[in-house]
């Protein structure tokens, strides 16, 4: 476990983030656009906000020897990777489409019909 001296306190993190100016925010937004590329359901603003939320909540401790752009970039990379894995595991259900559980009885009927036809052919 890391010493508290190795990470910035939440107060230090807040002071650093409060000093960000418009050009800094634009660079961070550009980094977010890079990491969110390929995520259809998410956008760069969501990614940047989620990264800042995790940092400010203390969920992602900030190592004292890492610069803001490097640390925030890696936090965003990690979140984007997590989102990609979630999107792969949970495909979107199209509007109006029935959930898989409701479609299962229809598949059973089709399977039973196929089985009946195969027995009849044999």
Q: Model pTM?
A: 0.68
Alpha helices, DSSP H, located in the chain: 10-18, 22-36, 44-56, 68-89, 100-121
Position 28 scores a pLDDT of 94
Position 1 scores a pLDDT of 44
30: pLDDT confidence band, cut at 50, 70 and 90?
A: very high
Position 11 scores a pLDDT of 93
Which of these, 61, 74, 89, 78, lies nearest to 2 by C-alpha position? 61
Q: Is 7 helix (H, G, I), strand (E, B) or coil?
A: strand
pLDDT per residue as tens digits for the range 78-119: 999 999 988 887 665 555 555 555 555 666 777 777 777 777
pLDDT per residue as tens digits for the range 33-88: 999 998 888 899 999 999 999 999 999 999 999 999 999 999 999 999 999 988 88
The β-bridge partners of 63 are 7
């Amino acid at each position: 476990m890391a010493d508290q001296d190795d990470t910035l306190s939440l107060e230090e993190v807040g002071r650093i983030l409060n000093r960000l100016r418009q050009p800094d925010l634009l660079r961070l937004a550009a980094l977010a656009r890079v990491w969110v590329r390929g995520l259809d359901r998410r956008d760069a603003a969501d990614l940047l906000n989620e990264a800042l939320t995790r940092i400010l909540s203390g969920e992602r401790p900030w190592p004292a020897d890492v610069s803001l752009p490097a640390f925030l970039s890696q936090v965003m990379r990690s979140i984007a990777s997590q989102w990609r894995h979630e999107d792969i595991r949970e495909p979107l259900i199209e509007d109006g489409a029935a959930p898989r559980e409701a479609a299962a009885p229809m598949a059973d009927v089709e399977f039973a019909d196929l089985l009946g036809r195969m027995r009849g052919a044999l």
